[in-house]
Chains A and B, each alone.
Chain A
Amino acid sequence: MRYLTTLFLFCLLAASAYADQAAYTVRSTEIKQQPYSDAPTVATLSEKTSVNILSREGGWMKISSGQGNGWVKMLSLRSNSKATKSGDSGLQSLLNAGRADSRGVTVATGVRGLSEEDLKNARANPRELEKLQRYAVDKSQAEKFARGAKLKTQQMDYLPPSGNS
């Protein structure tokens, strides 16, 4: 039941994260039927075409546009910032309202503790540091955690700066 509730909440949030997020293409880009490169092409969008982002899967964004709907490479898109107001969705406010007793949600701007000034004047809190140390996990716990979700390691070298490649 808890799983269903959280799944429902997650779907709502996932939807709110992207629903009608306006973006535009930074290059000529193909719309694919499925989120992979060799899927059939629905249409080709020219540079600076407006689209709406619906959801994400890996490096692909599900979009709707005047020229068709389907999947576009995430990094071919940039948000149309002016049209969005992320972090201010009705749902987020609703959920935050349930946390009225927590610090930082209901307090006014500038007293949440991590402003430039706050950092310059910060005084050490050794008790919280001890608590932090207690949360730490060891290698075997981390490996067990990875196995638990079937995470598999991949071989990959670091990449050079894009200017040198």
Chain B
Amino acid sequence: MLNRAMLFFCLTLTLSCPAYALDFDFTKALDVVKKVQQAAKPLEEPREIELGNGIAANLLGAAPLFNDNDVQQYVNKVGRWLSLQTERPDLPWKFGILESSDVNAFATPGGTIFITRGLLQKLNNESELAGVLAHEIVHVLRKHHLAALQKEARMDLASDLLGEAIKDKNNPALEKAIKAGTEVYARGLDKNDEFEADRMGIVIATRAGYDPYGLPAVLQMLDASNAQDSSLALMFKTHPAPRDRLGLLDKTMDHRFDAYSAPTQTDERFNSEVARQK
């Protein structure tokens, strides 16, 4: 809308100018409009996926995959089932357990979700796992990392990234975006995006048939954890305090989620897949 108004404004301006200035002004005006359009235009889905895969490869460079096919597949099935309850069921969703005793989880643009072995081992059932994965899924749905990247990146990076240039696979702009994108995980997202991921995550877990209190239970576990524990350092630094998250979920959930519970078969499955890893 704004772009159209600007184009109209520029056209009016150029048309009202004396004839000798028309060529120059018109070209310049179009250029400005194009730039504004590029910066405001969302990243196309294939580019979003490409960027996310690049960031995922970097995260895997920091910590490799936990070496157990069965548990990896189990987490993928829980996650993929959750993804089917969302508005982006056709993304190339993939889920991985990172070999790290750190307690954390990550999402990269385009549908890659990681949970650390350290966090997985602290969970008590499949609904808690679903709560964590659903929270991460929301970061992808709502493009929170792209927002953080675009907010912090310099305009040249943003316009390179969104422009034609990125269609070339070997473009240095993509490399730059992947590096900047990975650094977002060291700084964290906007805290309102974290609250949104909690609020939408519990709904996705409920839609999938899980106990809605899985995520709140994990937050209570984190709240009860020793804040000095170094395995929690990055997670605590990059997220709002679990207590604040619980406070907001308390208000949001009220009595609306009382009637739901997960089938006991999910507990049995979780026990046979994950408890043996503890």
Report A82 CB to chain B, min CB distance, Å. Answer: 9
Q: Check if A87 sits within 8 Å of B225, measured CB to CB.
A: yes
Q: Size range of the interface on A?
A: 35 or more
Q: Find chain A residues with CB under 8 A from B230 CB.
A: 109-110
Report A74 CB to chain B, min CB distance, Å. Answer: 6
Please count how many residues in chain B sit with their CB below 8 Å of the partner chain's CB atoms: 103
Q: Tell me which of A110, A124, A132, A146 has the highest count of chain B C-beta atoms within 10 A of its own C-beta.
A: A132
The 8 Å CB contact of A135, one of B95, B122, B199, is B95
The CA of A160 and the CA of B94, in the complex, are separated in Å by: 28
Q: Contact mask B65-83 → A, CB, 8 Å, 1/0?
A: 1000100110011101101
Say what secondary structure dominates the interface of chain B: helix
Which of B18-26, B152-160, B257-265 forms part of the interface with chain A?
Answer: B257-265
Interface residues, chain A, with chain B CB atoms under 8 Å away: 2-3, 6-7, 9-10, 13-14, 17, 21, 23, 26, 36-37, 56-59, 74-75, 77-79, 81, 84-88, 92, 95, 102-105, 109-110, 112-120, 122-126, 128-129, 131-133, 135-139, 141-143, 145-146, 148-159, 161-162, 165
Closest 6 CB pairs of A and B: A151-B209, A79-B224, A162-B251, A142-B80, A128-B60, A149-B265
Interface residues, chain B, with chain A CB atoms under 8 Å away: 53-54, 56-65, 69, 72-73, 76-78, 80-81, 83-85, 89, 92-96, 98-104, 112, 116-118, 121-122, 124, 126, 178, 182-183, 185-186, 195-196, 199-200, 203, 206-213, 216-217, 220-221, 223-227, 229-234, 237, 243, 246, 248-253, 255-258, 260-263, 265-266, 268-269, 271-272, 275-276, 278
